[in-house]
């Protein structure tokens, strides 16, 4: 019997209600588990999440029944959301679905238990946090190589599982009407999957020259530290020397490449400590930022139910996160806040998520999300870009605003994290797309990974890698099947949002010095975009705030313009190819 339009409308409504109910239960269970880590809370959270995922998979499969019907806009968009929001599509076969879940859990556990036991360490093994700390702090090339290689002994055991994982997910994606999982993921961006891939390449092309200038300068700095035998000036960067286990962000090697005039004239951590800030006051300051834009104060329940500091009597998940518990006003943050510059920025970032969540609360539950995968992260990051010397003076933390000529160090530090990340943010899913569509086979998984890292990042492995290795599996998001493109998009959009806000505010100085604090006109336009949630295609949401429906990387380059000019001077006479 053929499906009807009336059935599709009724199905979308019932699916929305079911997922809302299960989502609230799963969210509350996850909150309790994150704040009271015990054997029992982990089980309760897992059971609630399993119920939600099982329902989502079943609804996505059923939604495919209505493909081809002439549906109204909302029903069609909701059904598409049900079909494309899954990152792990399961086959329409109970035994295969169970197998997929088992493989997923096994890979997650393999990664989570991963450790490296160096020879001669008297039985002492290193966890990933231990190794990450060494990667960040050590300047001993041999030690860094040992740790880099050691972590990658964990992932080869996943390769066979990952191959089967891909096969099963691809079968699930085909059951939902997609050619493969990569096409399914890309279909969640309101564009033809191939057009979306081309759009990402266009954006990368806009920021690539900035990245290449930073790459060239950093390579020279590393060569000076470790010698040109270790860091040849005409080869890609050795992946183990960049201060991060995956060479995805380079801020930890700032001391090796800091400009000679790197002193910004103040230390934000010292300012916060001297002013007597505690965790709650940092959050209150973040709230005041949004209030200055015209947003309503946070509800009293936010202050009653959030976690701001690590409790002394129990273990909690300290990773900073923002939560919407009921799709209404029960919003919270959870973080073990320290009084320092990094957490001051993080507070502003996490509150950006909360204000976004509250802004779209009146939308249908299936629209409770960012306009696309990158919007939510970009919103928080955009707010953090307004933590400028002018802002610090306005809130009484800084007496005198230093001249902009002292900003080079701040821009370099930010570029080492944000600009250096962009190609990595792009290539992780590029690799997976090639795996999903069969371009890469298990025998070429590793070769394809390093080919992309050379092409986009100009980064190479420090030791010979073979098909028996599975280096992609050493990155959390691969075995845990978390899509990564959103982070690249957020890296572009946060600067585009920032420039649009500053233009609306009438700012005429350097873009990196602009703060929108206190501008209610910007806040009104900003909120108009936030209120849309995922109810409209992302180009419409983007246009509501920026005036254009096209993502644009030019604001990234403008933001770092003083650094770009300085890098060009420093790189004169160098071979800057990647």
Give me the phi and psi of 456, to 5 degrees please.
-90, -45
The set of catalytic residues is 319-320, 349-350, 353, 377, 477, 487
Q: What single DSSP character describes residue 572?
A: T
What is the SS3 assignment for 279-311? HHHHHHHHHHHHHHCCCCCCCHHHHHHCECCCC
67 in Cβ contact with 177 (< 8 Å): yes
Distance (Å, whole) CA 365 – CA 473: 34
Q: Identify the H or E element spanning 63.
A: helix 39-63
Distances (CA, A) of 6 to 18, 78, 79, 87, 452: 18, 14, 13, 28, 47
Strands 115-116 and 126-127, how do they pair? antiparallel
Q: Which residues of 100-124 are buried (b: 16+ CB within 10 A; e: fewer)?
A: bbebbeebeebbeebebeeeeeeee
Strands 459-460 and 237-238, how do they pair? parallel
Distance (Å, whole) CA 268 – CA 366: 40
311, two tokens: 């409790």
Distance (Å, whole) CA 565 – CA 562: 5
Report the candidate in 320, 322, 269 with the shortest Cα–Cα distance to residue 298. 322
223 by DSSP, 3-state: which?
A: helix
Q: Which residues of 292-309 are buried (b: 16+ CB within 10 A; e: fewer)?
A: bbebeebeeebeebbbbe
């Amino acid at each position: 019997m053929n499906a009807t339009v009336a059935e599709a409308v009724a199905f979308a409504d019932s699916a929305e209600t079911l997922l809302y109910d299960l989502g609230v239960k799963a969210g509350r269970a996850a909150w309790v588990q994150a704040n009271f880590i015990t054997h029992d809370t982990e089980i309760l959270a897992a059971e609630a999440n399993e119920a939600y995922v099982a329902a989502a998979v079943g609804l996505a499969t059923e939604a495919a029944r209505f493909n081809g019907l002439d549906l109204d806009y909302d029903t069609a968009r909701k059904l598409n959301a049900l079909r494309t929001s899954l990152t792990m599509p399961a086959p329409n076969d109970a035994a295969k679905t169970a197998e997929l879940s088992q493989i997923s859990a096994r890979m997650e556990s393999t990664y989570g238990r991963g450790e490296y036991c160096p020879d001669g360490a008297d039985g002492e093994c290193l966890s990933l946090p231990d190794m990450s700390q060494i990667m960040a702090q050590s300047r001993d090339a041999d030690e860094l190589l040992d740790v880099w290689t050691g972590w990658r002994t964990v992932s080869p055991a996943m390769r066979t599982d990952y191959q089967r994982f891909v096969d099963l997910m691809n079968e699930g994606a085909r059951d939902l009407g997609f050619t493969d999982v990569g096409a399914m993921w890309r279909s969640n961006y309101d564009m033809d999957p191939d057009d979306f891939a081309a759009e990402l390449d266009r954006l990368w092309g806009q920021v690539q020259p900035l990245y290449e200038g930073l790459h060239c300068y950093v390579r020279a700095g590393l060569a000076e530290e470790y010698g040109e035998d270790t860091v040849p000036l005409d080869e890609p960067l050795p992946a183990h020397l960049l201060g991060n286990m995956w060479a995805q962000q380079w801020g930890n090697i700032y001391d090796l490449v800091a400009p000679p005039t790197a002193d910004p004239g103040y230390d934000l951590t010292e300012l916060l400590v001297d002013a007597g800030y505690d965790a709650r006051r940092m959050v209150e300051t973040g709230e005041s930022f949004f209030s200055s834009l015209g947003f309503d104060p946070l509800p009293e329940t936010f202050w009653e139910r959030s976690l701001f500091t690590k409790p002394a009597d129990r273990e909690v998940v300290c990773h900073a996160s923002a939560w919407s518990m009921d799709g209404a006003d029960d919003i919270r943050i959870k973080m073990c806040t320290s009084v320092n510059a990094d957490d001051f920025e993080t507070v502003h970032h996490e509150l950006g998520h909360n204000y976004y969540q509250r802004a779209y609360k009146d939308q249908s539950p299936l629209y409770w999300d960012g306009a696309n995968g990158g919007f939510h992260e970009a919103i928080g990051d955009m707010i953090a870009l307004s933590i400028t010397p002018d802002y610090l003076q306005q809130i009484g933390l800084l007496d005198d605003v230093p001249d902009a000529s002292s900003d080079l160090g701040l821009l370099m530090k930010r570029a080492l994290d944000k600009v250096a990340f962009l190609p990595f943010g792009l290539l992780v899913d590029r690799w997976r797309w090639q795996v999903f569509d069969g371009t890469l086979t298990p025998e070429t998984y590793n070769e394809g990974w390093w080919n992309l890292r050379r092409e986009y990042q100009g980064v190479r492995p420090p030791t010979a890698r073979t098909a028996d290795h599975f280096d992609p599996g050493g990155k959390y998001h691969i075995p845990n099947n978390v899509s990564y493109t959103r982070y690249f998009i957020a890296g572009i959009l946060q600067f585009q949002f920032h420039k649009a806000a500053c233009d609306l505010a009438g700012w005429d100085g350097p873009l990196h010095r602009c703060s929108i604090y206190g501008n209610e006109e910007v806040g009104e336009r900003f909120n108009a975009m936030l209120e849309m949630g995922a109810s409209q295609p992302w180009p419409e949401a983007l246009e509501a705030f920026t005036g254009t429906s096209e993502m644009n990387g030019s604001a990234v380059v403008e933001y770092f313009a003083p650094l770009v000019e300085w890098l060009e001077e420093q790189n004169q006479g160098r071979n800057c190819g990647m």
